[in-house]
Amino acid sequence: MKLTLLLLGGLLLLPTFARHRQQDDEPAPSSPFTSFLADEAARITKDIEGAWTLLVFDTPEEVVEPEDFRGYAQFHDGYCTLILIGAEPVRDFFGDDTAYTFLSGAYRYRIGESGTLQLSSVVGFDNLDEPGALSFHTGPDATREYEIQLTDNSLRLREPGGDTFEFRRLPKSTFSSHDLESLRLQRNGAWFDEEDDGQ
């Protein structure tokens, strides 16, 4: 009798257990805010593809003239190429001079859940810590994160420290006739002859 009751009780509990198990397996409903972030990340991932040229570099530390900073970024299939070059007038023992700082690298990238651009270095280096020395992007320097704003033709990246980079989308590239002529001259040796004649 006891065994019959135990078996019957177990059978009665099975539907309840099955319902709880089904509920556990179902994903939690997402909030409107979470859905917005996911949609925005998908939009940025799609729209960021292409080549971009740096228009403005802004830092809270000093005023930077647009002609003193150059940059290029390209995004494709989860990879990013980023090149930044800055020039700064300096005075040394020999007089006035120009010091150059740069960052160059190839990265894997993703748009994070919070809508930030996250980079992980494939190969990269800079001289930001010391102008005369290279620092390779390994360890903590191998990853970077930027706040991101993206419209049709404008890309704005902001570092946690406040430095801001504003890029403009580049149109589809064409190889100019001037470049083709330059290559022709190089193949024929004329370019080198012109260099020698000018010395």
pLDDT in tens, the chain (199 residues): 433 323 233 333 334 434 444 444 554 556 877 887 888 889 999 999 999 999 999 888 777 777 788 999 999 999 999 999 988 777 777 777 788 888 999 999 999 988 899 999 999 998 888 767 888 888 777 899 999 999 989 999 999 878 899 999 999 888 899 999 999 998 888 655 554 554 4
Runs of H (alpha helix) within the chain: 2-25, 32-47, 177-188, 190-197
Crossing angle of helices 190-197 and 177-188, in 10° steps, is 80
Would you call 105 exposed, middle or buried from its count of C-beta atoms within 10 A (0-12, 13-18, 19+)?
A: buried
Confirm whether 3 is domain-assigned: no
Q: What is the pLDDT of residue 50?
A: 96
**How many residues are listed for the chain in this entry?**
199
Compute the distance between CA of residue 110 and CA of residue 116 in angstroms, rounded to an integer. 8
Note whether residue 165 is domain-resident.
Answer: yes
Specify if 14 maps to a domain: no
Tell me, yes or no, whether 108 lies in a domain.
yes
pLDDT of residue 147: 95
Q: Is residue 129 part of a domain?
A: yes
- The answer as to whether 47 is a domain residue is yes
Asked if the structure places residue 178 within a domain, the reply is no
Q: 115: phi > 0 → left, psi -120 to 50 → alpha, else beta; which?
A: left
In a domain, 27, yes or no: no
pLDDT tens for residues 93-134? 777 778 888 899 999 999 998 889 999 999 999 888 876 788
Task: Return the pLDDT at 11.
Answer: 30
Residue 144 belongs to domain with CATH number: 2.40.128.280
The predicted structure's pLDDT at residue 52: 97
Rg (the chain; Cα; Å): 28
| Overall number of domains in the chain | 1
Please, are residues 124 and 111 in contact by the beta-carbon 8 Å criterion? no
Q: Which domain holds residue 79?
A: 33-169
Tokens of 174: 């064409």
